[in-house]
Every structure is written in C-alpha cells, then in structure tokens.
Structure 1
Amino acid sequence: MAANNTSAFNCRAITGGTAWSNHSYGRAIDVNTVQNPYISGSGAVYPPNGAPYVDRTRTAPGMIHAGDVAEHAFTSRGWEWGGSWDTPIDYQHFEKP
C-alpha cells in the first residue's frame, strides 16, 4: 500500500479479520492507495503516508470522491465503494459482492 500500487487479485484475509477478502476471488480492486487511504474503526490510517489524504476536502490528483468519474464508473455497474462505508472507511476499495 505504501508504494501506492493499484491492485486487484490478492489472496488474503480481510484486513483485521480471518475471512477471505473479496480480493482473494478477484472481486475487489484498490486504487491509488496513498491518495485513498483505509481508515480503521480505531482511526488508524493505512498506509501511514496516506494520512494527509484523510482530509477529503482536498482535491489532489488520484483522490476518489463521491460522484466523481472513478466512483461512478464502478458503482453504476453494481460495485460497492469502501469510501461510502461508516467503518472501516476504505477510500481505495471497490468490490463486486
């Protein structure tokens, strides 16, 4: 994540859990992980170098915002966006349940 890689297939457990992640089945993608960090229920930010991007009033290149082209491209096709979750908040994450 710290390297800001966009990735899809990754056979692993859900962050902080034991169940398989949708990444394990090729049904999830993480986009621009630094500009779109994961925020745990306790407030930890991953990757840590994504902390400045927790401020979603920013409009830096690569950031995903509700209603923008990237969010619409996925959600209009039935994908869920982790940026709309209450906890954790996963701005980088899209998944097709």
Structure 2
Amino acid sequence: MRFQSLLALAATSALLLPLSATAGKLPANYQATCVTQAQAQQKTMSKADAERHCSCAGNVLEKEFSDAQIKDLDSSDGVDADTMKRAQEKIAAACKPKN
C-alpha cells in the first residue's frame, strides 16, 4: 500500500470519531462506518483489510486520546490541527499494512 493511501486511511479513521482523560471511548458505529469509508476511499482494499485497519486505528484512538479529543476529531465545526496530526501519525505508525 502506498504511503499516501496509508495517510488517507489514517485521516479517515481519525475523522470518523463522533464523541474527555486518556482512554477515550469510540462511538458504537465507529467500526462499521470506518470500514465503509476506508473501502470507498481505497477501491482495491478488501473488507478484511479495512476491518483490520479500522480495528487497529480504533485501538490507538481509544488508548491515546481522551473522549474530548475523540469528539473533536469528528467535530463538524473544525478539527484541532494538532490533534488531527497526532492521530494520523500514531495510526500510521501502529497500523502499517502487512505486505
């Protein structure tokens, strides 16, 4: 998978979070929404690969971000650039596709 594709998936994963303290909670529909959007962005991605990536990304987000940060990542009134960058970097580092 190209680096650009990985960044796109990381951004998608970070933006899919609707919902304060580290160990935040993802919304109930995170996994299904993430898989759908990942496959829409990466037409060649299998459902199994999308599920693996979204599960990994969700684990990273829950472990590294507070509820408030997770909620901000899905905000429709603008996302904090530093929080988004940190989320993308952490997801990209932890969820590299297996070749």
TM-score (norm 1): 0.30
TM-score, normalised by the number of residues in structure 2 = 0.29
Structure scoring higher RCO (CA < 8 A, sep ≥ 6) equals 2
Structure with the higher helix share, 1 or 2: 2
